[in-house]
């Protein structure tokens, strides 16, 4: 009879051995010279799956003894003397979705986030030629959370990722793209089991990332044995292949030109073209809500079907940026000319973008309504995530009528949110200038809390509205 450990290992191996259904997120990084206010922008749809129950939690700073150790999946590392406040967005306990097997371990839930220094992090699954190593090395979830706990800048996060992979290797899956930003710059770190490359996003460029490697010859940092390992494996010949390109050498050939990825990248670039120098968070909202509206690629959502590649290929339909796979959608607006507590704000939408409104979550804030923090993934009427997900499911049953209505409603509501945000930020800036930081932070806390609460109240009202329109009052 198998032990519990062997069963869990078997499930993990199965989960990572069939990658056809595990393509996911879309990320946009925008350099500060392309934005209207000089902010670095970091947009991301976290596509974990329709039943991947999510949460957003404020994590508090802590201090430790220099001799303390920290156990994370699957290694024990030195504990940091101090960790920072951060917003962690990710899986509720027991959630099922992309690459998860109802995990409940510490350091195994964070997917997206922003810390008190305005450092933001998101990830995209990738496909490399390197072998996947189940439970050998440090797990990607741990790296994500440790970035938020330990890094004051995106560049520090690059070095942290590199150090972990160099020392331990990356467990479970052989390709991941870490997307990082702070109020001054953005970085991409593309990783395999044992190797990595890092590229700084230029101030005058934007990059769209789906689920194929994007770094070619133009990387700024790399693992020491990157090229030597490729030569050893027979993937790269210095004489025949010319200049080394990471994506060409390490990327799995069958994954590098899939329309599932290429179409999303091209669509996002098309929507942002011509907006260089004047980009705003709202421009990224529109990209992250896009379903190819107005083109011949547009398709209505398929009831009870997730847009993994196996489904889209079988049905011959394009994979849009916005789907029911989405656990959360975020756009970080990172402004260097303001106190970081207010200058760094993560606009957050729970579940599928377009069915929920983006509300501001500030780097200096540390509270949010309990409904957004539900630890347990089981259905609860008090859960914000379940409210937004059911709203999406019910509205999709009469998509032609209800999705345009909801999208217009949330977009219209956003104008008043932005106006209120401007008022609050002016007050916070004034308090900071007078040295009244505690009062300023208290104001940010109250505003973040109230905006989240208001979004949930509106969602509950809209859910009751669409249930009346459809006659669908079932929980699921």
pLDDT in tens, 157-167: 999 999 999 99
Report residue 311's pLDDT band, with 50, 70 and 90 as the boundaries.
Answer: confident
Query: Is pLDDT above 70 for 342?
Result: yes
- The CA distance from 131 to 172, in Å, is 9
Is residue 13 scored above 50 in pLDDT?
Answer: no
Mean pLDDT of 395-407: 94
Q: How far apart are alpha carbons 186 and 179 in whole angstroms?
A: 8
Tokens standing for residue 233: 């494996």
> Mean of the pLDDT values across residues 369-374?
97
**What pLDDT does residue 102 have?**
58
pLDDT number for residue 68: 97
Mean pLDDT of 37-42: 98
Q: What confidence score (pLDDT) does residue 2 get?
A: 40
User: Where do runs of H (alpha helix) occur along 186-275?
Assistant: 226-232, 238-241, 246-250, 259-272
Least confident range of 14-23, 231-240, 358-367: 14-23
Provide the pLDDT confidence category of residue 3 given band limits of 50, 70 and 90.
very low
Is the per-residue pLDDT at 9 higher than 50? no
Does residue 85 carry a pLDDT above 60?
A: yes
- Going by DSSP bridges, is the β-strand pair 359-362/344-350 parallel, antiparallel, or unpaired? antiparallel
Q: Sort strands 26-30 and 344-350 into parallel, antiparallel or unpaired.
A: unpaired
Find out whether 372 and 56 touch, Cβ atoms under 8 Å. Answer: yes
The H or E element spanning position 284 is helix 281-288
Report whether pLDDT(4) > 70. Answer: no
- In order, the DSSP letters of 411-437 are HHHHHHHHHHHHHHHHHHHHHHHTT-H
Residue 391 vs residues 98, 170, 402, 464: alpha-carbon distances, Å: 22, 37, 10, 9
**Across 225-236, average pLDDT:** 98
pLDDT at 8 over 60: no
Residue 24 pLDDT: 76
Q: Which tokens hold the place of 287?
A: 């990209």
pLDDT at 1: 40
Q: How much is the average pLDDT of 7-14? A: 35
DSSP state of 458: H
- Burial degree of 397 (CB within 10 A; 0-12, 13-18, 19+): middle
Q: Kindly indicate the confidence band of residue 33, based on its pLDDT and cuts at 50, 70 and 90.
A: very high
pLDDT at 476: 59
- What integer pLDDT is reported at residue 475 of this predicted model? 63
Q: pLDDT confidence of 382, banded at 50, 70, 90?
A: very high
Long-range contacts of 396-405 (CB under 8 A, 24+ apart): 396/300, 396/301, 396/303, 396/324, 397/303, 397/470, 397/472, 398/466, 398/469, 398/470, 399/300, 399/301, 400/300, 401/469, 402/466, 402/469, 402/470, 403/354, 403/355
Read off the pLDDT of residues 189-218 as tens digits, 9 standing for 90 and up. 999 999 999 999 999 999 999 999 999 999
Neighbours of 294 (CB within 10 A): 8
Please give the average per-residue pLDDT across 134-146, as a whole number.
97
Angle at 330 between CA 472 and CA 254, to 5 degrees: 90
Look up residue 462 and give its two tokens: 């809209």
What mean pLDDT value characterizes the chain?
92
Structure tokens at 348: 């957050």
Mean pLDDT, residues 402-415: 94
Question: How far apart, in Å, do the first and last CA atoms of the chain sit?
Answer: 36
């Amino acid at each position: 009879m198998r032990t519990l450990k062997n069963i869990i290992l078997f499930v993990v191996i199965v989960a990572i051995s069939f990658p056809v259904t595990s393509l996911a997120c879309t990320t946009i990084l925008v350099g500060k010279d392309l934005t209207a206010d000089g902010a670095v922008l970091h947009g991301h749809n976290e596509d974990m799956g329709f039943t991947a129950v999510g949460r957003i939690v404020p994590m508090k700073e802590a201090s430790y003894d220099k001799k303390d150790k920290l156990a994370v999946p699957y290694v024990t590392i030195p504990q940091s003397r101090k960790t920072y406040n951060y917003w962690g967005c990710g899986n509720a306990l027991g959630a099922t979705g992309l690459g998860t097997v109802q995990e409940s371990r510490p350091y195994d839930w964070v997917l997206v986030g922003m810390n008190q220094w305005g450092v933001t992090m998101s990830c995209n699954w990738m496909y490399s030629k390197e072998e996947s190593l189940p439970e050998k090395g440090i797990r990607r979830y741990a790296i994500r959370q440790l970035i938020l706990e330990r890094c004051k800048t995106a560049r520090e996060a690059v070095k942290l990722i590199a150090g972990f992979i160099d020392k331990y290797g990356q467990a479970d899956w052989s390709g991941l793209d870490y997307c990082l930003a702070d109020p001054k710059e953005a970085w991409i770190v593309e990783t395999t089991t044992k190797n990595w490359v890092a590229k700084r996003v230029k101030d005058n460029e934007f990059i769209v990332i789906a689920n194929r490697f994007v770094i070619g010859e133009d990387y700024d940092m790399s693992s020491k044995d990157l090229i030597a390992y490729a030569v050893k494996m027979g993937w790269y010949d210095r004489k025949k292949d010319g200049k080394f390109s990471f994506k060409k050498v390490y990327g799995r050939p069958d994954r590098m030109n899939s329309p599932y990825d290429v179409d999303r990248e091209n669509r996002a670039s098309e929507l942002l073209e011509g907006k260089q120098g004047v980009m705003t968070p709202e421009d990224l909202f529109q990209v992250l809500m896009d379903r190819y509206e107005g083109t011949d690629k547009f398709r209505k959502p398929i009831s009870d079907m997730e847009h993994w590649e196996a489904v889209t290929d079988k049905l011959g339909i394009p994979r849009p940026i916005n789907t029911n796979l989405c656990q959360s959608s975020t756009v970080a607006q990172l402004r260097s000319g303001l106190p970081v507590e207010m200058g760094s704000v993560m606009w957050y939408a729970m579940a599928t973008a377009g069915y929920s409104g983006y509300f501001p979550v500030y780097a200096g804030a540390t509270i949010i309504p309990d409904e957004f923090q539900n630890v347990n993934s089981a259905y609860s009427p008090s859960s914000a995530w379940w409210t937004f997900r059911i709203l999406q499911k019910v509205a999709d049953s009469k998509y032609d009528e209800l999705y345009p209505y909801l999208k217009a409603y949330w977009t219209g509501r956003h104008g008043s949110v932005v106006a209120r945000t401007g008022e609050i930020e002016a007050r916070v800036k004034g308090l900071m200038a007078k040295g009244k930081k505690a009062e300023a932070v208290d104001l940010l806390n109250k505003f973040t809390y109230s905006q989240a609460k208001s979004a949930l109240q509106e969602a509950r009202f809209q859910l009751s509205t669409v249930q009346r329109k459809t006659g669908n009052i079932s929980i699921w």
